[in-house]
Structure 1
Amino acid sequence: MKLARTQSAIDHSVNGGERRTADGDLAGAFDSAQFHRAVEQCAVRLRLYLDDPEIKGLDLVEPAVLMKAARELMTTETAGIAPFDGDRLGRIIDLYLSTGIQVHSPGYMGRQFSGTVPLAGLMDLVSSVANQPSSFYEAGQLPNVAERLMAEELTALIGWDTETSTMVTTSGGSMANLTALLAARNRAFPGIWTRGVAGEGGHPAVALSEDAHYSVDRAVGVLGIGAERIVRLPVDDHGRIRPELVGPALDAAERRGLNVFCLVASAGTTSMGAFDPLAELAELTRPRGIWLHVDGAHGASLLVSPAHRRRLDGIAEADSLTWDAHKMLFVPAPCTLLFYRDGTAARGAFRQRASYVFDEEPDIYSAFDSGDKNLECTKRPMIMPLWTLWSVYGPALFARKIDHLCALTAEAHRMLAAEPDFTVLHEPEANILCFRFTPESLADGDLHRLQLAIRNRIRADGRFFISKVDIAGVAALRVVLMNHRIDAGHLALLIAEIRTTGHQVLRDGAARDDKDGIQP
Structure 2
Amino acid sequence: MFDARLFRESAESVTAQLEHQLADASIRGLELIDPDILDRAARGLMTPERDRIAAFDEKRLAAIVDLYVRTGIQVHSPGYLGRQFSGVVPLAGIVDFVGSVVNQPSSFYEAGQLPNVAERIMAEELNRFIGWEPESFAMVTTSGGSLANLTALLAARNKRFPDYWSQGGGALAGRSRPAIAVGADVHYSVSRAAGVMGIGDEQLVRLPLDREQRICLDRARGALEDAERRGLEVFCLVASAGTTSVGAFDPIDGLADLAREKGLWLHVDGAHGASLLVSDELRGKLAGIAKADSLTWDAHKMMFVPAPCTLLFYRDRRDAPGAFRQQASYVFDDKPDAYTALDSGDKNFECTKRPMIMPLWALWSIHGRALFAEKIEYLCRLTADIHTILLDEPDFEPLHRPEANILCFRHLPAGLAESDVHRLQLDIRNRLKRQGNFFISKVDIDGVAALRVVLMNHRITTEHFRMLLGEIRRAGYDLRHRANGRETGSDSE
Aligned equivalents of 2:96 and 2:184: distance in 1?
A: 37
Aligned to 1:169: 141
Indicate the residue corresponding to 1:8 in structure 2.
none
Q: In the alignment, does 2:469 pair up with 1:495?
A: yes
Q: How much does 1:199 deviate? A: 3.0
User: In the aligned structure 2, how far is the partner of 1:441 from the partner of 1:131?
Assistant: 60
The share of aligned pairs that are identical, in percent, is 64
TM-score scaled to structure 1, two decimals?
0.92
Q: When the two structures are superposed, what TM-score results if normalisation uses the length of structure 2? A: 0.97
Question: Which of 281, 295, 298 in structure 2 is aligned with 1:324?
Answer: 298
- Structure 2 gap segments, 5+ residues each: 488-493
Paired with 1:131 and 1:373, the residues of 2 have a C-alpha distance of 21
Residue deviations 1:482-519 (CA, integer Å, cap 9, x gap): 00000111011011111111111111106559xxxxxx
2:131 aligned with 1:159, yes or no? yes
Structure 1 SS opposite 2:323: coil
Letter paired with 1:137: Y
User: Any idea what the Cα deviations from partners look like across 1:378-402, whole Å, max 9, x if unmatched?
Assistant: 0000000000000011010000000
Give, in whole Å, the separation in 1 of the partners of 2:36 and 2:286. Answer: 46
Query: How far apart, in 2, do the equivalents of 1:383 and 1:510 lie?
Result: 54
The residue aligned with 2:275 is 301
Which residue of 2 is the match for residue 127 of structure 1? 99
Partner of 1:97: 69
Query: Which of 63, 68, 74 is the aligned partner of 2:46?
Result: 74
Partner-residue secondary structure (3-state), 1:263: strand
| SS in structure 2 at match of 1:113 | coil
Contact 2:436 2:471 in 1 (8 A): no
Structure 1 position 315, deviation (Å): 0.6
The CA distance in 1 between the partners of 2:11 and 2:486, in whole Å, is 49
Equivalent-residue separation in structure 2 for 1:366 and 1:93 (angstroms): 40
**SS of match in other structure, 2:185:** coil
2:235 aligned counterpart, secondary structure: strand
Of 195-204 and 420-429, more deviation after overlay is shown by 195-204
CA offsets 1:249-302 (integer angstroms, 9 cap, x no match): 111111111110000000000000000000000111102110000000000000
1:40 aligns with 2:12: yes
Q: Which residues of 2 match residues 472-487 of structure 1 at below 5 A?
A: 472-487=446-461
* Partner residue, 2:367: 393
For residue 119 of structure 1, give the secondary structure of its aligned residue in structure 2: helix
Q: Which moved more, 1:200-209 or 1:386-395?
A: 200-209
Q: 1:440, CA displacement in angstroms?
A: 1.9
Residue 322 of structure 1: how far off its partner (Å)? 0.3
Distance 2:262 2:419 in 1: 45
CA distance in 2, matches of 1:173, 1:187: 21
Instruction: Give the 3-state SS of the residue equivalent to 2:361 in structure 1.
Output: helix
**Aligned with 2:325 (options 348, 351, 356):** 351
Equivalent position of 1:371 in the other structure: 345
Runs of 4+ residues deviating >4 angstroms: 510-513
Deviation at 1:462, TM superposition (A): 3.6
AA partner of residue 471 (structure 2)? E
* Residue from 427, 441, 465 that aligns with 1:453: 427
The alpha-carbon deviation at position 172 of structure 1 amounts to: 0.2
SS in 2 for 1:30: coil
Q: CA deviation at 1:325?
A: 0.2
Alignment equivalent of 1:240, drawn from 214, 219, 224: 214
Q: SS where residue 362 of structure 1 aligns?
A: coil
CA contact (8 A) 2:253 2:289 kept: yes
Q: Could you report, residue by residue, the CA deviation over 1:152-180 in whole angstroms, capped at 9, with x for unpaired residues? A: 00111101112110000000000000000
